[in-house]
Amino acid sequence: MTTTTISHTVYQQRRIRVAQWLKAHGGGIAVLPTAPEASRNRDNDYSYRPDSYFYYLSGFTEPGAWLIIDDTGHSTLFCRAKNPDQEVWTGYRLGPDAAPEALAVDTAYPVEELDQQIPQLLANQPAVWFPFATHTGLEAQITNWLKDVRALVRTGVSCPQAQYDLCAVLDEMRLIKDAHEIELMRRAGEISALGHMRAMQKCAQMMRAGEDVREYHLEAELLHEFCRHGAQDVAFNSIVAGGANACILHYRAGKAAIHSGDLVLIDAGGEYGCYAGDISRTFPANGRFSGPQRTLYDLVQAAQEAAIAVTAPGATFNDPHDTALRTLSQGMLDLGLLKKDTYGSVDDVIEQRAYFRFYMHRTSHWLGMDVHDCGSYVEPETEPTAHHDAKTGKTTHIRPSRILRPGMALTMEPGIYVQAADDIPAEFHNIGIRIEDDALVTENGCELLTRKAPVKADEIEALMR
């Protein structure tokens, strides 16, 4: 990856917000490394992707970098020095001389000077802030630097007396997307939708031509379309599951054959500008839903539409899930997946978690730079209340669900997964369905960022024709 060409004012403004937070909470200095390079196998690294927190505050994509922000707003970058001999092999480096102008940071040093400079930056600071439990060895490195500072106390230097988790600051910032982030997420959603559409069409074309269709064939179509439209990578490993494989939630695309009459479940998204798209679509391999497939598909779509309808400012994060769950549970009773004489009403199904056999995941998660993005799912600074789980018999104490606000982004992904069993109507055996879109909470409701890819069964069939 290369450094983005956009104005770095947006990153500078974010750093100022961090400095203001530090100032308002007793002062101090924030220390933030980027992600390390990772070896894939001998003499070969995985494709590099910067740490999300680091990139959010810097817009810098090179490995081996550190960012320091103090409570005055002064920012210092440590990055790899220019090295023409190495750059011939591994690519261009920005270097510390060019970094201040290019990245709008105040000061930059070669990363080789990190151990020399950091203790000086920590000296006389009341506290040090860094992301807890995110970088292996970071806590020990901070401790060693503090030892160097403490060794200077006889000269009148004071050592930071407290350590705080920087994630607590950045998670709240990243939870509400700014205009720049929303622009990137719209593009990531559009690219992801184009990939799903290509996979649907290619599957039907290969089926009509009598060709062998494998899950990895469709994964290749996704990757082709993502990259063709500017995605830097996939946002996560693509799920491409044909037939009964769709009942495995995190199934990886493999070499399994896809047969006419199968449903294909794809959960995949491209990453654009370090922001994730995340779409699930389920479609008939041959382009036509069977009766039982259509029945279950329409149920899941109804659950998704119900969830979308309640996603608005003032609702809670749990509201889309609770609404989708009620729709799905009623459908399970109506279709005989759950016996009414055993479970009774939809309220009984939910209370006893009888639905869990067919729907075992949540309807939403936060979305942003990470496909399962950061941010608390409960309302901060609220008192926990007791909650009894009828399935486990345990009582837990939880805080109220997070209140949705404009700028939050979350997925809408209900599903149903019916494995073969003697007590299940045979026509529903081995059908797995998930429908997922990315929703941005707006002033009046929510905007779906991924609806370029069709959702309604009739529209999917039309596209595949």
* CATH number for the domain harbouring residue 101: 3.40.350.10
What's the confidence (pLDDT) of residue 386?
Answer: 76
State whether 263 and 159 are in the same domain: no
Residue of 62, 181, 190, 267 marked catalytic: 267
* Residue of 413, 437, 438, 461 marked catalytic: 413
121 and 162 inside one domain: yes
> Which is catalytic among the residues 219, 271, 319, 436?
436
Assess whether 331 and 445 both reside in one domain.
yes
- Domain residues for the domain of 362 are 179-464
Q: Is 321 considered catalytic here?
A: no
55 is catalytic: no
Name the pLDDT band for 4 (thresholds 50, 70, 90).
very low
Q: How far is CA 84 from the centre of its chain?
A: 36
Average pLDDT, the chain: 95
Same domain for 62 and 210 = no
Q: What is the dihedral of CA 325, 331, 334, 336, to 10 degrees?
A: -90
32 and 142, same domain (yes or no) = yes
- Residue 77: phi and psi, rounded to 5, are -110, 135
Are residues 332 and 207 part of one domain? yes
Tell me whether residue 429 is one of the annotated catalytic residues: no
pLDDT score for 389 = 73
Catalytic residue (choose from 62, 221, 271, 278): 278
Catalytic residue among 53, 55, 251, 417: 417
**Cross-strand bridge partners of residue 240:** 266
Given 152, 175, 198, the domain boundary residue is 175
Is residue 51 flagged as an active site residue? no
Angle of helix 457-464 relative to helix 179-208, nearest 10 degrees?
60
CATH number assigned to the domain comprising residue 272: 3.90.230.10
- Catalytic entry in 250, 259, 405, 465: 250
Instruction: Record the tokens describing residue 119, joined without a space.
Output: 């203790």
One domain, residues 157 and 304: no
How far is residue 233's CA from residue 237's CA, in Å, rounded to a whole number? Answer: 10
Q: Looking at the 3D structure of the chain, how many domains does it have?
A: 2
CA atoms lying within 13 Å on the CB side of residue 303: 30
One domain, residues 200 and 284:
yes
Q: What integer pLDDT is reported at residue 6 of this predicted model?
A: 54
Residue scoring higher pLDDT (269 or 43): 269
Catalytic status, residue 74: no
Active site includes 62? no
CA torsion sign for 202, 206, 208, 213 is negative
347 vs 296: CA distance, rounded Å: 21
Residues sharing a CB contact under 8 Å with residue 19, sequence separation 6 or more, in sequence order:
69, 70, 71, 72, 73, 74
- pTM score: 0.93
Note whether 451 and 419 are same-domain residues. yes
Q: Is the pLDDT of residue 383 over 90?
A: no
Contact 439, 445 (CB under 8 A): no
Of 142, 175, 208, which residue constitutes the final position of a domain?
A: 175
pLDDT band at 387 (very low <50, low <70, confident <90, very high): confident
Query: What's the confidence (pLDDT) of residue 249?
Result: 96
Q: Is 458 a catalytic residue?
A: no
Q: Are strands 263-268 and 279-284 parallel, antiparallel or unpaired?
A: antiparallel
Q: Pick the last residue of a domain from 130, 160, 175.
A: 175
Same domain, 30 and 111: yes
Active-site entry in 224, 252, 294, 365: 365
57 and 95 belong to one structural domain:
yes
Verify that 348 and 297 share a domain, yes or no.
yes
The active-site residue out of 215, 434, 437, 438 is 434
